[in-house]
Amino acid sequence: MRVLVTGGAGFIGANFVLQTVRERPDVQVTVLDALTYAGDEASLASVADAITFVRGDICDAALVDGLVAQSDLVVHFAAESHNDNSLHDPSPFVQTNVIGTFTLLEAVRKHGVRYHHISTDEVYGDLELDDPAKFTPDTPYNPSSPYSSTKASSDLLVRAWVRSFGVQATISNCSNNYGPLQHVEKFIPRQITNVIDGVRPKLYGTGQNVRDWIHVEDHNTAVWAIVERGRIGETYLIGADGEVDNKTVVETILDLMGQDADAYDLVSDRPGHDLRYAIDATRLRDELGWQPQYGSFREGLAATIDWYRANEAWWRPRKEATEAKYATLGR
């Protein structure tokens, strides 16, 4: 099977490629990635001989058309992915997340290629802290940020291309991922690398916001389950019942790294900051028999800390510029 992986040099896409090469020798992987500030070819160094890497933009219709024509499956990870950036400059989010997805959909429509669309639980907006409810595939779309609204837009394009043109597509909406190879702008790697640098972790607002954490390896096994056994046109929510508030995440990182549990700073809040995300993954578990392998968030976090300690050469080049950007936002 020939698989085109867009965004394969980013966090989740690179982990998907590494997992696929490791576990599926029958799959030929081609990565299409523009190598924006978020992409790093070094993430794929260990599999460079086993894959084809194409540097290019998913909005480049001619390039995309040629690559899709040679594929049996497209798994679309490429995106502008960071909420804080989208609040600063939404423009690349509209371009990549909406126009890029449109470009891919037109190509898979033309060539009759199976398509899996990677999306986020943020399309559903947020939940109250004391609400027992979780997001389900029937929750109405209600995105809050420029990032999540462009992801919601891209999901709706996929649904329309399935219904109007018979495109063979599935969609997954996943909760917050953690694990190796995540950019240091994101919450968990930012705090781990801050502690390594002797800098106090930074919590937005009061730290009460809740995210539903899943290990990136579990996200990617779910993607393969959906690609292989999912129903065309269907939406699958991916989550591993990992709700934790941000303050507890920071306290756990500090504890695992041998620091006092209160050695963090509260900083100004993100505008429009979503309060809580929580996923009901019943459909994925019951219909496709998927189960997460990473049972303990604390153990997964400890392994992630070990990875950042052992791979400073990977993250160090991006740390200074990332913190300079946050400094201009006062966070």
203 binds, among ligand NAD, ligand DAU, none (CB under 5 to 8 A by kind): ligand DAU
| Whether the Cβ atoms of residue 123 and residue 148 lie closer than 8 Å to each other | yes
Any idea what the Cα angle at residue 315 is, between residues 312 and 317, rounded to 5°? 105
Binding partner at 193 among ligand NAD, ligand DAU, none, C-beta below 5 to 8 Å by kind:
none
Closest CA to 278 of 228, 200, 210: 210
Q: Does 81 bind ligand DAU (CB under 6 A)?
A: yes
Give whichever of 261 and 316 is closer to ligand NAD, judged by the CB atom: 316
Using CB under 6 A as the criterion, what x/- string covers residues 21-60 for binding ligand DAU?
Answer: ----------------------------------------
Give counts: helices (H), strands (E), the chain. Answer: 12, 13
Q: Which residues ranging from 131 to 190 are in contact with ligand NAD (CB under 6 A)?
A: 151, 174, 176-177, 183
Question: Residues 76, 104: contact at Cβ < 8 Å?
Answer: yes
Q: Does 209 bind ligand DAU (CB under 6 A)?
A: yes
- Report in angstroms how near the CB of residue 236 gets to ligand NAD at its nearest: 12
Helix axes 246-256, 297-310, angle to 10 degrees: 60
Q: Binders of ligand NAD among 15-34, rule CB under 6 A?
A: 33-34
Choose which of 3, 118, 158, 169 interacts with ligand NAD (CB under 6 A). Answer: 118
Among 294, 313, 317, CA closest to 304: 294
Residue 28 or residue 145: which is nearer to ligand NAD going by CB?
Answer: 145
Residue 36 as a binder of ligand NAD (CB under 6 A): the answer is: yes
> By C-alpha distance, which of 129, 109, 151, 93 is closest to 278?
129
Is 122 in the active site?
Answer: yes
Among 4, 10, 74, 288, which residue sits at the site for ligand NAD (rule: CB under 6 A)? 10
Written as six digits, the tokens of 323 are 């913190």
Do residues 263 and 210 make contact, with C-beta atoms less than 8 angstroms apart?
no
Q: Which residues in the 107-136 window bind ligand DAU by CB under 6 A?
A: 120-122
Q: Site for ligand NAD (CB under 6 A): which residue of 4, 27, 64, 78?
A: 78
Please, are residues 211 and 244 in contact by the beta-carbon 8 Å criterion?
Answer: yes
- What is the identity of the amino acid at 301? L
Q: Which does 195 bind (CB under 5 to 8 A by kind): ligand NAD, ligand DAU, none?
A: none
203 near ligand DAU (CB under 6 A): yes
Query: Could you tell me if 254 and 261 are in contact, meaning their C-beta atoms sit under 8 angstroms apart?
Result: yes
The alpha carbon dihedral of 122, 128, 132, 133 has a sign of: negative
Nearest to 310 by CA among 192, 173, 145, 150: 192
Which of the residues 147, 178, 277, 308 is marked catalytic? 147
Contact between 82 and ligand DAU per CB under 6 A: yes
Q: Strands 202-204 and 265-267, how do they pair?
A: parallel
Out of 12, 47, 108, 162, the residue judged to bind ligand NAD by CB under 6 A? 12
Residue 101 interacts with ligand NAD (CB under 6 A): yes or no: no
Question: Which member of 122, 126, 155, 185 is catalytic?
Answer: 122
Q: How far is the CB of 189 from ligand DAU (least distance, A)?
A: 8
Burial class (CB in 10 A: 0-12, 13-18, 19+), 132: exposed
For residues 17 and 33, the answer to whether their CB atoms sit within 8 Å is no
**Which residues bind to ligand DAU, rule: CB under 6 A?**
81-83, 120-122, 175-176, 186-187, 190, 202-204, 209, 211, 246, 270, 277
**Which residues bind to ligand NAD, rule: CB under 6 A?**
6-7, 9-13, 33-36, 38-39, 57-59, 77-81, 96, 100, 118, 120, 151, 174, 176-177, 183
The catalytic residues are 121-122, 147
